[in-house]
Chains A and B, each alone.
Chain A
Amino acid sequence: MAKSIESLIPLSETAYYILLSLNEPRHGYGIIKYVEKLTDNRIKLGSGTVYTTLGKMSKAKVISIYQDKDRKTVYELTVEGNKLLELEINRMKIVYKDTLYQEGLFNDKT
């Protein structure tokens, strides 16, 4: 039985960025490169991390695996995966809002 998507929340930073990079079907190394670009070299994903995370995600039905024209394996978010990402993005927005609010309070003190 696949786990429900709620049990995957909260995602680790790595898993979150991997899902975030899948706005279009990408292959494994493409994910690594894209996350590097997106985070301005802050996150350099190790290939082992990506491989095991993608394996876990596909087991949880969050991503589907198929091949492109060159028969290279690509990964894409499923409907479930999109739902999960949406939930996480909303959670992140709340975290961000709370952070800004608290930061303001901390700054007022000084």
Chain B
Amino acid sequence: MTKLKFRPFWSYDVIKTQDWLDMQCEKGYHFVSFNPAFRTFNFNKADAINKKHVIIYDKSNDGCPAYVSKNNDYNEIYQTKNYCILEQTKEEPEYFSSYDQLLSRNQQIKFIVGIILLIQVILNILPLALVLVSATTGNMTVEYEPGGITAPTNIGELLEGIFVLMFMIIGIIVQLWLVYTYFKLRKSNKKLEKISVEDINLSFTIPTDTIISKEEMKQLKLDKKLVKKRKLGWFYSPDIHEEWLEEMELKGFNLIRMSKIGNSFYFVKGETRKMKYHVDYQLRKNPSYFKINEESGWKLYFTSLTRFFAISVWGQEYTEIKPEYYSDPESKVKHAKRFMLSYIVWFLPMSLMYFVMSGFSIYAYVTIDFFRDNFWLYLTPLMFIIAGIEFLYFSFRLIRYYNRVKENY
């Protein structure tokens, strides 16, 4: 006897789904196959036993990874193009599947959904807030025309009404689904990170071990030992600031921490240190990213909140030979290229957009009386021009950075 079970959001929390499969087995329903398109799981009724299931997401391999058949720790039950469901046969297997790929897939979805939600918040809530503020300060009156809801008089109107209603319902469902996806993934990603032993303790963007208590900070300030340097947009020329940090260390200013948005550096006056700093850019940070760097002796000072397009600041003390983050010239240049490209593909179009917008608004002032009568609106094209120049300048600095790296290696 077979049984079909529907689990629409099974991939949002794979660990829970694994446990769920184990539980079904305890009830006597043995998992046989599943259909990822319909999100349905098929079970066979048999004796109730204990079985441990493992779900592997592997995009790069056609079929189960090679280590599965090694040591006979696992039995393959079912596989699709990207997923592989196994039965763990030994209590303590030699090897475990890595959740790296699954984690980065979930992080990617979370990242995209997060951006959609953020744009929605900006687009919907900001104008609403503006309306509310101007309504309460009395500068604007919201006119409301009481028309009331009238019953539809003919089939056409009725259909139109149903159509609009359906649209609204679908809109709400999609919205709820997006919010659910975001928060569910956030929770399950944390679980996966824990399993992947990503034992990096971050407070927002800075490692917790670099944080010093407020009292300590006050004391350091009183002793005139603490120096705070603010650098705006410093990561558009990372190499110059790496050198700057290294020079500060040679002068005896030891970097102790950075601010949460990464624009300030806190130094404590102390011993001269030979330090090597590296500002790293990664398209994607896996759990193994922090592991390998820390084991190689690098200390983390800052890392972007997002796991994508992330900037991290690493430092390492040395005695004789300067350690290299990228040991071969090829990957050094490639890193700089990635760094530059991933920013200027945004910045150059942005800059262009601002210039075009400033052109449009200047045109509007010349032709429309309404704009001409409001003096403060004159600032708008100016602001657009400033923003345009800013993005152009950032791009220019990044290109210069890339050229410097390329010439040096």
Please list the residues of chain A having a beta carbon within 8 angstroms of any beta carbon in chain B: 2, 12-14, 25, 27-29, 32, 43-55, 58-59, 61, 64-74, 76, 78-79
Contact, CB under 8 Å: B287 / A73? yes
Contacting pair B324 A67 (CB below 8 A): no
Q: Is the CB of A52 within 8 A of B296?
A: no
A73 in contact with B291 (CB, 8 Å): yes
Candidates A13, A14, A59, A72; contact of B197 at CB < 8 Å: A72
Contact mask for chain B residues 141-161; partner A; CB cutoff 8 A; 1 contact, 0 none: 000000000000000000000
Bound form: Cα–Cα A53–B47 in Å = 48
Q: Chain B contact residues: over half helix, strand or loop, or mixed? A: mixed
A66 touching B96, Cβ below 8 Å? yes
Cβ–Cβ contact A71 & B197, under 8 A: yes
Q: Are B60 and A66 in contact (CB under 8 A)?
A: no
Hey, which chain A residues are within 8 Å of B92, CB to CB? 69
Partner of A66, one of B65, B195, B278, B296: B65
| A76, closest chain B residue (CB) | B67
Contact between chains at A52 and B65 (CB < 8 Å)? no
A-contact bits for B280-292, CB 8 A (1 contact / 0 none): 1010101111011
Chain A residues with CB under 8 Å of B284's CB are 55
Residues of chain A contacted by B334 (CB below 8 angstroms) = 52
* A14 and B66 form a contact (CB under 8 A): no
B325 proximal to A (CB < 8 A): yes
Question: How many angstroms between the C-alpha atoms of A65 and B298 in the bound complex?
Answer: 23
A47 nearest in chain B by CB position: B296
Residues of chain A within 8 A of B94, CB atoms compared: 68-69
Q: Are B196 and A29 in contact (CB under 8 A)?
A: no
Q: A28-B295, A78-B61 are in contact. List 8 more A-B contacts (CB 8 A).
A: A14-B327, A48-B280, A49-B328, A58-B60, A61-B60, A65-B288, A66-B95, A73-B287
Question: Smallest CB–CB gap between B342 and chain A, Å?
Answer: 14
Can you list 6 contacts pairing A with B, beta carbon distance less than 8 Å?
Answer: A32-B292, A46-B324, A46-B328, A47-B298, A66-B96, A69-B95
Given contacts A12-B328, A58-B60, contact A48 B66 (CB under 8 A): no
Query: Residues of A contacting B298 with CB < 8 Å?
Result: 47
Which residues does chain A contribute within 8 Å of B66, judged by CB atoms? 64, 76, 78-79
Task: Report Cα–Cα, A58/B284, bound state, in Å.
Answer: 14
CB distance from B229 to the nearest CB of A (A): 25
Kindly list the 7 A-B residue pairs having the minimum CB-CB distance in the complex, ordered from nearest.
A28-B292, A46-B327, A29-B295, A47-B296, A67-B96, A48-B325, A46-B324
Contact-residue size bin, chain B (C-beta under 8 Å from the other chain): 35 or more
Q: Are B95 and A49 in contact (CB under 8 A)?
A: no
State how many angstroms separate the Cβ of B78 from the closest Cβ of chain A.
Answer: 19
Residues of B within 8 A of A29 (CB): 291-292, 295-296
Question: Are B288 and A51 in contact (CB-based, < 8 A)?
Answer: yes
A61 close to B327 (CB less than 8 A): no
B403 adjacent to chain A (CB < 8 Å): no
Instruction: Determine if A66 and B67 form an interchain contact, defined as CB atoms under 8 angstroms apart.
Output: yes
- B28 proximal to A (CB < 8 A): no
Cα–Cα, bound, A32→B324 (Å) = 12
Take A51-B293, A72-B197 as given contacts and tell me if A2 and B60 are in contact as well, using a CB distance cutoff of 8 Å. Answer: yes
Q: Say which residue of A47, A66, A71, A78 sits within 8 Å of B292 (CB atoms).
A: A47
The interface residues of chain A lying within 8 Å CB-to-CB of B295 are 28-29, 47
With a cutoff of 8 Å between Cβ atoms, the chain B residues found around residue A2 in the complex are: 60
What's the nearest-Cβ distance from chain A to residue B71, in Å?
12
CB distance from A19 to the nearest CB of B (A): 15
In this assembly, does B114 line the interface, its C-beta being within 8 Å of a C-beta of chain A?
no
Within 8 A of A (CB), among B53-108: 60-61, 65-67, 92, 94-98, 100-101
Contact A52/B335 with A32-B296, A46-B326 known, Cβ cut-off 8 Å: yes
Contacting pair B292 A51 (CB below 8 A): yes
